[in-house]
Amino acid sequence: MSDINHILSIQGQTAKIDKEKKDSLSVNGEDNLQNIQDKVEITNKKNDAKLLEDIRKFHNRTLHTKSVKTTELVKPELKPSVEELIEKIRKISETGSGELPLLDIVNLFPGLPPDIIDKLNERGPLKFKSTGPSAIGFENSGKKIDFKIMLEEKEYTVKIPSTIKGKTSVLPDGFKMDFDKKNTIQVGKLLFFINLEHLDANKDKVFVDFEGDMADIIIKFA
């Protein structure tokens, strides 16, 4: 069965179950009206949840098609700030702890709107703490922030949840940030969003890596 037909079949099953539950009211006089309504409501919620999950899965599979490709951008103006960020994280690694403005990381998303900068600064810094010889844990908590970005003339929403966290590894020529899958930045539109998994930066480029190799972004400096 195709994905679309499967989704439509679930809608049909929901209507059928609703009818059977309501018809049972006249057959079984021992059930009161409230019990029947409660059963119908529970059935609806379960089927609605299943329907939404199937729609999400269908949408995510369509994102794997060749029409969704890695976006490559050339942004030489970002090179100085990325080099400075690399040095900051290197020093944090050496001392074992430290802080960075959240803006330093979010600014790596292309097309960051100017009116979001104050909200990012108000939220507070990313806090780093050593978790091993070459790894540093990071975390930031505060009010949720949503904003729009444009990629190849298409508008997407970036969602920063109430908590983001993960670990950072210092590399010979840069750093890599691995985000916790339950506490990470998301990008998408409407009901469908994908998680930011990794962010790699060196002196030549930044790689913004989303789950499932979908809609990744490479920012080159030359």
pLDDT band at 24 (very low <50, low <70, confident <90, very high): very low
- Nearest partner of 88 among 76, 104, 107, 74, judged by Cα: 104
* Same structural domain, 119 and 199: yes
Q: Percent of the chain beyond pLDDT 70?
A: 67
Other beta carbons within 10 Å of 13: 14
* Same structural domain, 44 and 128: no
Q: How far apart are CA 83 and CA 86, in angstroms?
A: 5
The pLDDT of residue 34: 54
Q: Domain containing 206: what range?
A: 71-220
The pLDDT of residue 39: 53
Helix (H) or strand (E) holding 3: helix 3-27
In which residue are the tokens 């499967």 written? 6
Q: Is the pTM of this model over 0.75?
A: no
Listed in sequence order, the DSSP H helices in 63-149 are 79-95, 102-106, 117-123
pLDDT over threshold 70, residue 198: yes
* Same structural domain, 193 and 165: yes
* Same structural domain, 35 and 80: no
Q: Which residue did the predictor score with more confidence, 45 or 102?
A: 102
Average pLDDT (153-173) is 93
- pLDDT, tens digit, 9 for 90 and up, residues 49-80: 665 665 555 455 444 444 456 889 999 999 99
CA angle 174–180–182, rounded 5-degree value? 155
Q: How far apart are CA 119 and CA 123, in angstroms?
A: 6
* Same structural domain, 97 and 19: no
